Amino acid sequence: MDRPLRIVVAKAGLDGHDRGAKVIARALRDAGMEVIYTGLFQTPEQIVQTAIQEDADGIGLSILSGAHMTLFPLILDQLKAQQAEDIVFFGGGTIPPEDAEALRERGVQAVFTPGAPLQEIVDFVNDACGKRRALVG
């Protein structure tokens, strides 16, 4: 790969729990990726705009406030509206198993719940975003 993968790590809504997002951001950076951390309280529109402007390969969304069934789909809608569905969209947080399953069905490529090993997340991002890069260039 010529240039490193670029990943937007995002926090949406009013949720201030940023420990997980920051740990993931560092782990991806340590794995050689370029990480753009949005900071807190971003709207779905802002997050997708950031990903497009930064030419990101993936968006990782962290939600621990319980608003995941609202905010994940809003980002999916935005990706669709902006014709940016090739961007790999994944996330994690305090998400009950059946909600995680429902989100995967709706198009979120991976949902990581508390206790997921960092390496598993790094491997997923490398793999999924690597494939996207191969297709989109």
Partner 1 sequence: MMDRPTGGGQPTPEFEAQQAAWEAASAKGKPRSGPGSGATDRTLSDIPLKTCYGPADIAELDLARDLAWPGQYPYTRGIHPNGFRDRLWTMRQFAGFGTARQTNERYHFLLAQGQMGLSVAFDMPTLMGYDSDAPHARGEVGKCGVAIDSLADMEVLFEGIDMGKITTSMTINGPAAIAVAQYIAAAEKKGIPRAMLGGTIQADILKEYIAQKEWIFPPRPHMRVIVDMIQFCTEQMPKWNTISISGYHIREAGSTAAQELAFTLADGFAYVEACMKAGMDVDSFAPRLSYFFNAHIDFFEEIAKFRAARRIYARRMREKYGAKDPKSWQLRFHTQTAGCSATAQQPENNIVRVAYEALSAVLGGTQSLHTNSMDEVLALPTEKSVEIALRTQQVLAYETNVTNVVDPLGGSYFVEALTDEMERQAEAYFAQIEEFGGVIEAIEAGFFQKEIADASYRYQRSVESKDRVIVGVNHFTRDEERGDMDLLKITEETEREQAASVRAVRESRDANAVAKALGRLKAACADPKDNLMPHLIDCVNAYCTEGEIVDTMVSVYGRYTERSVF
Contact positions toward partner 1, by CB under 8 A?
A: 9, 13-19, 21-23, 25-27, 35, 37-41, 65-67, 69-71, 74, 94, 96-97, 113-115, 117-119
Q: Is 111:78 a contact under the CB 8 Å cutoff?
A: no
Beta carbon nearer to partner 1, 53 or 113? 113
Closer to partner 1 by CB, 122 or 132: give it: 122
Residue of 56, 50, 48 lying closest to 3 (CA atoms): 56
Read off φ and ψ for residue 136, nearest 5 degrees.
-90, -30
Our CB check for partner 1 shows the closer of 72 and 90 to be 72
Q: Shortest distance, CB of residue 55 to partner 1, whole angstroms? A: 20
Say how far apart CA 87 and CA 93 lie, in whole Å: 20
